[in-house]
Structures are given as C-alpha cells and as structure tokens.
Amino acid sequence: MTTKLKLWADAVKARDGRCLDCGSLEDLHAHHIKPKLTHPELTLDVGNGKTLCYRCHKREHENNRGPRVRREHRPQRKTLEREYIRMRDRIKLLEAQNRNLVEKLTKTLTKLKHQTDKAA
C-alpha cells in the first residue's frame, strides 16, 4: 500500500469510525465504493471510501463482480503467456533439431558424393 493510499484509508476510517454495514469496531478496512480499476481518479477521494470490517469487506468484494472478473483475467493472461513461451521454445527446439538433421544429411550427402566420385 502506498503512503497516499494509507493516508486515504486512515482518513476514511477516522471519518466513519466503525463498519458502515454492521457497526463493528474491530478489524476495520477502508473500501473503495467505486473500484480503483474503473475509477482510478477516485482512488484517493475520501468521498469514495467506506469503512467496513474484515467480514463485511470480504462479503462486499464477493458480491461485487468487478474485482472478481479482474482476478479471473489475470491467470488467463498468464496462461496465454505460458502457452506463448512454450510454443516459442518448441519452435526453437524444432529449428535446432532440424538444423542438426540438415547438417547430418548434408554430411552424408557429401560422403556419398565422394564415394560416387571414387567409384566412377
């Protein structure tokens, strides 16, 4: 958490003083009403903050599809990147293998040519 974000969270919690959903005074979190992802300009806006306890905060995020969709997209991107790297390495390997094969066949061909020349 950046210092600015911590100051924002402290300001939100100081203003509310309790969980706005259940009134709990323990384990308070400052929650962004409009997600940072869709409203980055409101990230440090105290008016966009809401104090929630740990349990209510967790529930709030479970009900809110925004951050969940974001989390699902991340592994997907990672999977694609892994797939990309695997494919690239496979191509490199095939290139290397084919290079070896071409060299080997070229040597055999040269040898065959020498033998042919000698036989003639």
Does residue 21 belong to the site contacting Zn ion (CB under 5 A)? yes
Please report, in angstroms and rounded to a whole number, the separation of the first and last CA atoms in the chain: 82
* DSSP per residue, 8-56: HHHHHHHHH-S-TTT---SSEEEEESS-TTT-GGGTT-GGGEEEEEHHH
Strand partners, 49: 32
Q: Tell me which residues in 65-94 interact with Zn ion (CB under 5 A).
A: none
Q: Tell me which residues in 28-67 interact with Zn ion (CB under 5 A).
A: 31, 53, 56
Minimum Å distance from CB 67 to Zn ion?
8
Is the CB of residue 63 less than 8 Å from the CB of residue 30?
A: no
Minimum Å distance from CB 31 to Zn ion?
3
* Residues 31/62/55/36 CA torsion (nearest 10 deg): -10
User: With CB under 5 A as the contact rule, which of the stretches 13-21, 41-49, 80-88, 95-103 interacts with Zn ion?
Assistant: 13-21
User: With CB under 5 A as the contact rule, which of the stretches 22-30, 33-41, 43-51, 73-81 interacts with Zn ion?
Assistant: 22-30
**Which is closer to Zn ion, CB of 31 or CB of 48?**
31
Residues found near Zn ion in the complex (CB under 5 A): 19, 21-22, 24, 31, 53, 56
